[in-house]
Structure 1
């Protein structure tokens, strides 16, 4: 039986945190950011492509995102993709440039976004706990098979638990920062 690889567990836990960061960056706060459009994909040249592969995204003003489409035949498709993205955005077309004014977030919408952020964080916590369970199961098997002693098993499981606690604390910190950004008026 192979020994428990703590680095592998750590890598998997960090993967959950990285995924959470990506999810949270897509949530809209009161100010514009280029990453706001990261979840948007466009039907281009026969396949789905991320919007940043068919256009340049910039933030000229705090409440405005500008999308400069490279191919003028794509402007309509990019505009449609943004409208249908469930981000609540209405682009205004000006030649090959789309200007996307960000509406003020009302209290109700802010609370909805906070709920979504909490769901993302909970999914990340669940993923981390799955990694922890895999590690603990592996330790129990090793101990049962006689590959490691009870003391070493306990030491290793303490390390896995500490790694889990640290990762969940990081997830909670990311969540509270994002919550602060969303609720900031």
Structure 2
């Protein structure tokens, strides 16, 4: 979401430069137009991403600092929020499935009840998968 002031118009960074990741702790930005290097550097500083760009005249190098404990907790909280949003989508799909089952005509109530049970089993299965994935992701995020 870094916007660069490029010829008087705010332009996304990826439209004025090639952004690459040579290793896990470095981001390299190579502008297509070398005259835009100062504008890119200024945009990165103003974006409040916490990066200190270094400019060698042709490229901009961003060294990614190691995550602080506070940032790790914030990322874990964000992962939990995303998991909850996913579980809401799963529950909504269950409700829609049950509504559709109840609309069916000419099908016995036993078959509908069995199908509702199957829908609930799938809901439980995928909710459990979400919880497992969250547990793994939290462990990965909090690992120093």
Shorter chain as denominator, the TM-score bin is 0.7 to 0.9
| CA 97–177 in structure 1, closer or farther in 2 if over 3 Å, else same | farther
Deviations 1:98-120 (A, max 9, x none): 21111122212211111111111
Among candidates 43, 47, 54, match of residue 80 of structure 1:
43
| CA 62–158 in structure 1, closer or farther in 2 if over 3 Å, else same | same
Scaled by the length of structure 2, the TM-score of the pair is 0.75
Q: Which has the higher contact order (CA 8 A, sep 6+)?
A: 1
Match of 1:172 in 2: 131
Match of 2:17 in 1: 55
Deviations 1:6-59 (A, max 9, x none): xxxxxxxxxxxxxxxxxxxxxxxxxxxxxxxxxx3546786865x545433333
Q: CA RMSD in A?
A: 2.9
SS at match of 1:148: coil
Q: Which has the larger radius of gyration?
A: 2
Q: Distance in 1 between matches of 2:118 and 2:11?
A: 43
Among candidates 82, 91, 114, match of residue 120 of structure 1:
82
| CA 117–159 in structure 1, closer or farther in 2 if over 3 Å, else same | same
Q: Distance in 2 between matches of 1:97 and 1:123?
A: 39
Listed as ranges, the matches of 1:14-93 within 5 Å are 40=1, 42=3, 49=12, 51-75=13-37, 76-77=39-40, 80=43, 83-84=46-47, 87-93=49-55
Scaled by the length of structure 1, the TM-score of the pair is 0.61
Q: Distance in 2 between matches of 1:167 and 1:87?
A: 35
Consecutive unaligned residues of structure 2, counting only runs of 5 or more, are none
Deviations 1:113-133 (A, max 9, x none): 111111111111111111111
Consecutive unaligned residues of structure 1, counting only runs of 5 or more, are 1-39
Among candidates 89, 101, 106, match of residue 139 of structure 1:
101
Moved more, 156-165 or 66-75: 66-75
CA deviation after TM superposition for structure 1 residue 81, in Å: 5.5
Among candidates 65, 71, 88, match of residue 109 of structure 1:
71
Q: Distance in 2 between matches of 1:147 and 1:103?
A: 63
